[in-house]
C-alpha cells in the first residue's frame, strides 16, 4: 500500500481546512493533513518533510509568499500549491516567480485532486533529474580528478592539423609550457627530440579510418632545455565526418629510462672490467709458468748434483726452494684452471650427471680407497650443461668431503631434487664441518681454513666450483655445523641459456 500523503495545509479557517481534506480524499489520496497558521508552526512542520504544501494566500501575520521564501531557504523540494479565495493576475505571476507549483481558487476545489497529482508527478521528475545531474557531476569530477592528478597525462591531437586539442594540466608542470603553447600548430614536432621525430611522423602515415593502437617512447625538451622521456599509449581513430584524431596518454618515464641507461652503462663497464681481469689472470698465470719451470728445473738440478757436497744448511735451503717452486707451480696451475672456467666457449649440451659423476669417482678412486670412503648417490638427472665442468664440480666437492673427513671412514651422499625451475644438487658428508662465519669466505680464491701440513690444498677448489655454477646461472652455498659434517648445495636452472 502506498504511504499516505502528508499534506501540510496553511489555513486559518477550520472549515476550509476540512474542505481541502475532503477534496483530497475524494480524489483518492490517503491523506494525512496537518493545519498550521503561524510561521513558527510552519517551520516546525517543514522538518517533517511533508509530501505537499497547500497554502492560503494570506493569513493574519503569515501567508504564501513568506512560506515560499522559507521553503526555498530550507532547500527542500516540496510541491507548493496556493489555494485562495480571489487572486489577481499579478499575484499569480508573483507567486509562480517565488516558486509556487500551481494555484487554485477556493470555489474551484474540484481541480484540487488533478492539481495535486500533477504537482507530485512534476516534483518527482524534478527530484529524479536533480539526482541524476548530481550523480553525473560527481562522476565527472571523479573522472577529471583521476585523469588530471596522476602522472599519466591525457591528450588528444588532430592528425590533420597536427595540433593538440587537449592535454591534461600535468603537462604544464612536466614540461614548463603553458596550455596555449601546447595548442599551437606543430608544438609536438617542434619540441620532440630530433631523433624521435620520425616516430611521430609515422602516426601521420596511418591510413584510412581504421582505429589503431600505438605504443612508443619519445623524448621531449622542457622549457628549460632538459630532456624528458614520455611513453605514449595512444589510438588513432577517424570517423566519416570528423578529422582523424589521436587520443591517449603520455607517461613520464624519465626516471625509469635514466635508471635503465645507468644500469646498461654499469653492466657494460662491469663486462669490460671482467674481461680485462680474466685476460690478466690468464696471461699472468700462463706467462708465469715458463720462468717458474726454469726455477724448478735448475733447483732440481742443484739438488741432484750438489746434494751431500755442500754443508747440511745448503741441502736444507735447496729443499725449501724446491718445495716453494713446486707449490708455486701448483698454485699457478690452479689459477689457470680457475681463469679458464669462464673463458671456455659455452658448450652446454644435455649432460648425463650420473655418467659425469662416475667418471669423477674413477678419477678419485685412489683417494677414496685410501680412506675406505663410502660414496652413495640418488639417481642424477640429465641437465643442459658443460659436461666436463659438471664432472669437475662433483669431483671437487666429493674430493673435499673425503679430504676433510672425521676420525671414521667417511660416508658421502650425492643427491639431486627437481624444483620448479631448477635442479638442486647436494653433496653431504660426515666430516669435520665448518664454522658459520666461514660459509661465504671459503668460496673465495685461495681461501683456506687450515694449515698446509694439516690438510693439503691450494684453496682454489671451491672458487672453481662456484664459478662453474655461476656460469650455469645457478647458486651455490654450504650448510654445516662444526663436527657434524657439511652439505654443499648448488642449483642448475632447467631452461639453460648460454652464458
Ligand atoms: P682446498 O680444498 O684446496 O683447501 P677449497 O677451495 O676446495 O680449497 O676449500 C676451501 C676451504 O673450505 C678448505 O680449505 C676447507 O677449510 C673448507 N672446506 C671445503 N670443503 C669442506 C668440507 N667438505 N668439509 C669441511 N671443510 C671444507
* Ordered DSSP codes for 96-148: HHHT--EEEEGGGGGGHHHHHHHHHHHHHHHHHHHHHHHHHHHHHHHHHHHHH
The whole-number pLDDT of residue 1 equals: 42
Confidence of residue 249 (pLDDT cuts 50, 70, 90): very high
pLDDT: which is higher, 1 or 455: 455
Cα 105 versus chain centre, distance? 72
Tell me what the pLDDT averaged over the chain comes to.
88
Q: Which three cell numbers stand for residue 65?
A: 509568499
Closest CA to 427 of 467, 367, 495, 380: 380
Is 207's pLDDT higher than 60?
no
The whole-number pLDDT of residue 309 equals: 86
* Ordered DSSP codes for 396-423: HHHHHHHHT--SSPPEEEEEEEE-SSEE
Pocket test for ligand 1, best of 364, 393, 400 (most atoms within 8 A of CB): 400
Confidence of residue 496 (pLDDT cuts 50, 70, 90): low
393 CA from centroid of ligand 1 (Å): 13
Least confidently predicted of 162-171, 375-384, 407-416 = 162-171
pLDDT digits (tens, 9 = 90+) for 334-371: 877 887 777 666 678 899 999 999 999 999 999 999 99
Which residues lie with the beta carbon below 6 Å from any ligand 1 atom? Answer: 400-401, 404, 429, 431-432, 434, 442, 447-450, 457-463, 486
Pocket test for ligand 1, best of 367, 414, 443, 461 (most atoms within 8 A of CB): 461
As a whole number of angstroms, the distance between CA 443 and CA 72 comes to 85
Is 204's pLDDT higher than 90?
no
The whole-number pLDDT of residue 499 equals: 43
66 CA from centroid of ligand 1 (Å): 101
As a whole number of angstroms, the distance between CA 12 and CA 16 comes to 8
398 CA from centroid of ligand 1 (Å): 11
pTM: 0.56
Instruction: Give the residue-averaged pLDDT of 124-138.
Output: 91
Instruction: Give the residue-averaged pLDDT of 460-489.
Output: 94
Least confidently predicted of 15-29, 87-101, 371-385 = 87-101
Confidence of residue 197 (pLDDT cuts 50, 70, 90): confident
The whole-number pLDDT of residue 40 equals: 94
Atom of ligand 1 nearest to the CA of 443: 6
396 CA from centroid of ligand 1 (Å): 9
Cα dihedral: 168, 169, 174, 176 (round 10) = 130
As a whole number of angstroms, the distance between CA 425 and CA 423 comes to 6
User: For strand 31-36 and strand 5-10, is the pairing parallel, antiparallel, or unpaired?
Assistant: parallel
Confidence of residue 276 (pLDDT cuts 50, 70, 90): confident
The whole-number pLDDT of residue 243 equals: 65
- Residues 6+ away with beta carbon under 8 Å from 383: 350, 351, 353, 390, 423, 492, 494, 496
Q: Whose CA is nearest to atom 14 of ligand 1?
A: 448
pLDDT digits (tens, 9 = 90+) for 89-130: 888 888 888 889 999 888 888 889 999 999 999 888 988 998
Q: Is 195 exposed, middle or buried (0-12, 13-18, 19+ CB in 10 A)?
A: exposed
Amino acid at each position: 500500500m502506498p504511504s499516505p500523503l502528508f499534506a501540510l495545509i496553511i489555513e486559518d479557517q477550520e472549515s476550509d481546512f476540512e474542505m481541502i481534506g475532503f477534496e483530497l480524499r475524494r480524489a483518492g489520496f490517503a491523506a494525512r493533513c496537518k493545519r498550521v497558521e503561524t510561521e513558527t508552526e510552519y517551520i516546525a512542520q517543514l522538518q517533517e518533510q511533508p509530501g505537499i504544501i497547500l497554502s492560503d494566500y494570506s493569513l493574519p501575520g503569515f501567508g504564501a509568499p513568506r512560506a515560499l521564501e522559507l521553503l526555498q531557504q530550507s532547500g527542500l523540494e516540496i510541491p507548493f500549491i496556493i489555494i485562495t479565495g480571489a487572486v489577481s493576475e499579478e499575484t499569480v505571476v508573483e507567486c509562480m516567480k517565488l516558486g509556487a507549483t500551481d494555484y487554485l481558487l477556493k470555489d474551484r476545489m474540484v481541480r484540487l485532486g488533478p492539481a495535486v497529482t500533477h504537482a507530485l508527478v512534476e516534483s518527482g521528475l524534478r527530484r529524479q533529474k536533480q539526482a541524476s545531474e548530481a550523480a553525473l557531476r560527481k562522476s565527472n569530477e571523479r573522472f577529471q580528478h583521476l585523469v588530471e592528478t596522476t602522472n599519466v597525462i591525457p591528450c588528444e591531437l588532430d592528425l590533420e592539423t597536427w595540433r593538440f586539442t587537449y592535454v591534461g594540466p600535468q603537462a604544464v608542470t612536466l614540461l614548463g609550457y603553458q596550455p596555449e603553447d601546447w595548442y599551437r600548430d606543430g608544438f609536438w614536432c617542434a619540441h620532440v627530440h630530433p631523433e624521435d621525430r620520425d616516430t611521430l611522423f609515422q602516426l601521420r602515415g596511418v591510413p584510412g579510418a581504421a582505429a589503431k593502437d600505438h605504443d612508443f617512447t619519445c623524448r621531449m625538451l622542457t622549457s628549460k632545455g632538459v630532456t624528458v622521456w614520455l611513453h605514449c599509449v595512444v589510438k588513432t581513430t577517424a570517423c566519416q565526418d570528423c578529422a582523424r584524431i589521436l587520443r591517449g596518454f603520455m607517461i613520464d618515464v624519465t626516471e625509469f629510462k635514466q635508471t635503465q641507461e645507468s644500469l646498461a652503462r654499469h653492466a657494460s663497464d662491469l663486462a669490460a672490467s671482467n674481461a680485462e681481469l680474466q685476460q690478466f689472470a690468464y696471461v699472468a698465470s700462463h706467462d708465469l709458468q715458463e720462468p717458474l719451470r726454469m726455477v724448478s728445473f735448475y733447483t732440481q738440478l742443484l739438488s741432484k748434483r750438489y746434494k751431500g757436497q755442500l754443508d747440511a744448511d745448503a741441502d736444507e735451503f735447496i729443499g725449501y726452494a724446491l718445495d716453494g717452486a713446486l707449490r708455486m707451480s701448483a698454485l699457478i696451475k690452479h689459477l689457470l684452471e680457475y681463469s679458464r672456467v669462464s673463458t671456455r666457449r659455452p658448450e652446454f649440451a644435455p649432460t648425463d650427471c650420473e655418467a659425469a659423476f662416475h667418471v669423477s669417482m674413477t678419477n678419485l678412486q685412489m683417494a677414496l680407497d685410501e680412506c675406505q670412503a663410502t660414496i652413495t648417490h640418488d639417481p642424477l638427472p640429465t641437465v643442459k650443461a658443460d659436461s666436463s665442468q659438471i664432472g669437475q664440480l662433483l669431483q671437487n666437492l666429493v674430493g673435499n668431503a673425503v679430504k676433510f673427513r672425521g676420525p671414521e671412514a667417511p660416508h658421502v651422499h650425492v643427491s639431486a631434487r627437481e624444483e620448479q625451475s631448477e635442479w638442486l644438487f647436494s653433496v653431504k658428508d660426515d666430516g669435520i664441518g665448518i664454522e658459520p662465519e666461514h660459509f661465504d669466505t671459503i668460496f673465495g680464491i685461495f681461501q683456506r681454513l687450515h694449515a698446509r701440513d694439516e690438510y693439503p690444498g691450494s684453496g682454489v677448489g671451491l672458487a672453481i666450483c662456484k664459478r662453474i655454477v655461476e656460469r650455469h646461472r645457478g647458486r651455490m652455498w654450504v650448510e654445516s655445523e662444526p663436527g657434524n659434517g657439511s652439505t654443499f648445495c648448488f642449483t642448475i636452472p632447467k631452461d639453460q641459456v648460454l652464458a
